[in-house]
């Protein structure tokens, strides 16, 4: 098999499993986080009063990633830019809004969402390892996706892609979104993102405090986690049992 076909096959396989395979990175991150608590000298901020601000900074980075995903999905039409896992889907080509600045905004959002917990470990080498893993992992997914889009839209996609970076946005190319923002599509497609972020940060906080025999758990994480999980369950019910989140063309 030629390298091009091999890359595409690998990318398609990783695309279908992209929601699950990165979880082992989270497990390694949790181990690094535990190590910091057991050996506080390994992280300069571990015993510092500024640690809580550092943790909130990590949370802000993850929420930035979620915000990028929300903005992207909110301005796109039906059957594009989603969490489908069965295979590539693109009934139309997104070229406006954030897609006028970067070719793969959803994966940019994912990067920041994962970087937040990575930074929380306080281990520089782990952050570098995550960046390298992410590069190799998503490079193949993006390659497979671009092959699919080239076959689907031909020269139209090639011409658009020439002036758009793959991963680092170029805002001078920004074009106003062609569709208005749809909260219904966001709530339907991105309902699990917020809950996932707060679950991770709450679990890390409880784990860290438990290892240090402390009980002053971060109440903000607990409340935010509870609220986001309840929201997720409500939205999941509304999506499956009602048509409240349906919107024509979105």
3-state DSSP percent of the chain in helix, strand and coil, to 5: 65, 0, 30
Tokens of 118: 């990575």
For 144, what's the count of Cα atoms within 13 Å in the CB-facing half-sphere?
21
**Alpha-carbon distance values, 155 to 37, 149, 159 (Å):** 54, 10, 6
- Say if CB 92 and CB 82 are below 8 A apart: no
Element spanning 236, H or E: helix 219-241
Closest among 97, 75, 80 to 153, alpha carbons compared: 80
Element spanning 3, H or E: helix 3-16
Walk along the chain (250 residues) and give the pLDDT tens digit of each residue. Answer: 567 788 888 888 888 877 777 788 888 889 889 888 888 888 888 888 899 999 999 999 999 999 999 999 999 988 775 555 455 666 678 899 999 999 999 999 999 999 999 999 988 888 998 899 899 889 999 999 999 899 889 999 999 998 899 999 999 999 999 999 999 999 999 999 999 999 999 999 999 999 988 899 999 999 999 999 999 999 999 999 999 999 988 8
State in words which class domain 3-178 has.
mainly alpha
Q: Domain segments of the chain: what residues? A: 3-178
Closest among 115, 102, 145 to 22, alpha carbons compared: 115
**pTM, two decimal places:** 0.90
Residue 155 is predicted with a pLDDT of 92
Rounded Cα distance, 117 and 131, in Å: 13
- Say if CB 232 and CB 191 are below 8 A apart: yes
Residue 18 is predicted with a pLDDT of 75
Residue 89 is predicted with a pLDDT of 61
Residue 39 is predicted with a pLDDT of 87
Burial class (CB in 10 A: 0-12, 13-18, 19+), 225: buried
- CB contact set of 170 (below 8 Å; sequence gap of 6+): 101, 102, 164
Residue 24 is predicted with a pLDDT of 83
Tokens of 203: 């679990």
- Say if CB 219 and CB 199 are below 8 A apart: no
Encode burial over 177-202: b for 16+ CB neighbours within 10 A, e otherwise. beeeebeebbbbbbbbbbbbbbbbbb
**Torsion angle (degrees, nearest 10) of CA 166, 170, 176, 181:** 60
């Amino acid at each position: 098999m030629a390298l091009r076909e091999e890359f595409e096959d690998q990318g398609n396989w990783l695309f279908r499993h992209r929601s699950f395979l990165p979880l082992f990175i989270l497990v390694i991150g949790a181990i690094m986080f535990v190590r910091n608590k057991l050996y506080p000298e390994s992280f300069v901020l571990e015993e510092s009063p500024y640690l809580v601000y550092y943790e909130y900074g990590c949370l802000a980075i993850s929420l930035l990633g979620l915000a990028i995903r929300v903005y992207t999905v909110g301005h796109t039409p039906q059957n594009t830019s989603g969490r489908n896992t069965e295979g590539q889907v693109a009934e139309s080509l997104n070229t406006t809004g954030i897609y006028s600045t970067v070719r793969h905004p959803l994966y940019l959002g994912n990067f920041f969402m994962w970087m937040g917990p990575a930074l929380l470990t306080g281990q520089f080498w782990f952050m570098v390892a995550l960046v390298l893993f992410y590069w190799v992992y998503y490079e193949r997914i993006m390659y497979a996706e671009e092959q699919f889009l080239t076959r689907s839209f031909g020269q139209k996609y090639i011409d658009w892609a020439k002036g758009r970076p793959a991963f680092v946005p170029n805002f001078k190319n920004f074009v106003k979104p062609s569709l208005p923002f749809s909260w219904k599509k966001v709530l339907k497609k991105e309902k699990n993102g917020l809950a996932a972020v707060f679950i991770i940060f709450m679990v890390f906080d409880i784990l860290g405090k438990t290892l240090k025999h402390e009980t002053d758990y971060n109440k903000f994480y607990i409340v935010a986690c509870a609220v986001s999980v309840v929201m997720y369950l409500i939205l999941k019910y509304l999506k499956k049992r009602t048509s409240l989140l349906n919107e024509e063309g979105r």
